[in-house]
Amino acid sequence: MGESYYIGGKLTSSPNTIPVLFPYTGEVFAEVDIAGTEDQARAADSATAGFSETRLIPAYKRAEILQRIADLIEKNRDRFVEILIHESGKPFRQAHMEVTRAADVMRLSAEEAVRVSGEILTLDSAATGEGYVGYYSRVPSGPILCITPFNYPLNLACHKIGPAIAAGCSFVLKPSSKTPMSALLLGKLVLEAGYPPAAVNVVPCFGDNSETLVRDPRFTVLSFTGSPAVGWRLKEIFPGRRIGLELGGNAPAVIHKDADLDYAARRIAEGAVVNAGQSCISVQRVYIHNAVYDECLKKIMAHMRSFVVGDPRNPETDIGSMISEEEARRAGEKVRQAVMRGARLLLGGIREGSVMHPTILERPSSDMGIYSSEAFSPVITVDQYSDIDEAIQMMNESRYGLQGCIFTNSIDILQKLSAVSECGTLVVNDYPSYRSDAMPYGGTKLSGIGREGPKYLIEEFMERKLIVVKQFASIT
């Protein structure tokens, strides 16, 4: 028997288990029970019942619960760090940062819980509104289905659960089957903080076995972070309801000739290797002005060579393992195919088990998967451009549109890029991997639908309830 999961706030067991592997060694870190279709349906039943309680919790109490969750996350920091290292291969320092961010997300959600407001409407701005007054408030929409990936298993769960609690909604959380341990501990802390047990459901299950949840009509919103193939498929089987999809990208970075090259090179290198490149906004496509190309490329390569690669348990490690040897092998094969198609391997291309060393490819083309699709590995491509219009064209030649960046000191270039860059966020003078947990986060094209960030997801989890009142001329 493995670690139990939560249905209606109660620990629930299953005869079916899955091993959670430490990606760096392949050793079993834990065994976790997997929810079958019957337990998934029970979780939906519980969330539906729990919503009748959560919708009545006043805003200040929701905020208090969220603050307690944040405090409990901090209190359990060491355990979370241990879990994140061993279930995802995340390096020690980056695991600590994820715990910090997760607590921040809960505190941000607490702050937003008491800011939810409505609006008084001027209905008599049209003749049909004469004698009427209107206003709307925001009310919880219903049970929320949250599906999270392996790369930031704690923080991304908080980005969904925090706004759900702030909005007064119940939830079912389906974490990645590769990284369920952090989600199970988070569920335990949500219960300890005082959220109604029926509203708290955490059910690890295989992705291809989760359609029972997705097809359940009682969920009013589906919030999904994961691959484009899975996300767009889920949209098809979740019709007529609200859906948020965060599906990835192949982030472009432009380094103009007026940039601080030392700073830009360092940030590009760092953005390429955080979490072994397993981030939707990891630096992937780098375009450097031809006047500074050679100089800047040398600086990027020097930074990439300086990173410590190896055991994620070592506090000095910069790049740990990818989520599995299979994924590292996939990344290595994409590099090999790119070289066969004419790319020049400048650095790396080395795989040791589940560890992929930082890699730089020059002269990419659109027929290379490492360039046109999401690399999700510590691999970047580099190319040069002659003018900003060419750089814009190169940035935008992608099926994705999540985040991009430019390093420049020109306000004219900034204004032009802000108008025509095809991405959800344009970062100026930092890497495209930048994310503040308070900002609206999401993209265009195949990168998804909607925006995350506590304030913005709370809005998605609530409905506008309009009240229209007929005013009478006299009252007796």
Contact (CB, 8 A) for 82 and 237: no
* Amino acid at residue number 92: F
201, 188 contact by CB (below 8 A): no
By C-alpha distance, which of 474, 390, 380 is closest to 432? 380
Identity at 203, one-letter amino acid code: V
Listed residue (54, 374, 28) closest to 229, CA to CA:
374
Q: What is the DSSP letter of 131?
A: T
Q: Which two tokens stand for residue 368?
A: 């290379």
The strand ranges marked E within 363-438 are 379-385, 400-401, 403-407, 425-428
Q: Rounded to whole angstroms, how far apart are CA atoms 457 and 222?
A: 11
Torsion of CA 331, 337, 341, 344, to 10 degrees: 50
Tokens of 312: 């994620």
Residues annotated catalytic, as ranges:
246, 280
Three-state SS sequence of 247-273: CCCCCEEEECCCCCHHHHHHHHHHHHH
Closest CA to 68 of 42, 106, 102: 106
Neighbours of 67 (CB within 10 A): 18
Cα–Cα dist 150/393, whole Å: 33
Length of the chain: 476
* Identity of the residue numbered 405: C
Rounded CA-CA distance 333/246 in Å is 26
Q: What is d(CA 30, CA 53) in angstroms, rounded to the nearest whole number? A: 34
Contact status, residue 265 vs residue 300, Cβ threshold 8 Å:
yes
Angle between helices 388-396 and 411-420 (to 10 degrees): 30
What is the 8-class DSSP label of residue 355? E
State the Cα–Cα distance between residues 103 and 98, nearest whole angstrom. Answer: 9
What is the rounded distance in angstroms from the CA atom of residue 272 to the CA atom of residue 306? 13
Q: Is 175 helix (H, G, I), strand (E, B) or coil?
A: coil
Cα 90 from chain centroid (whole Å): 16
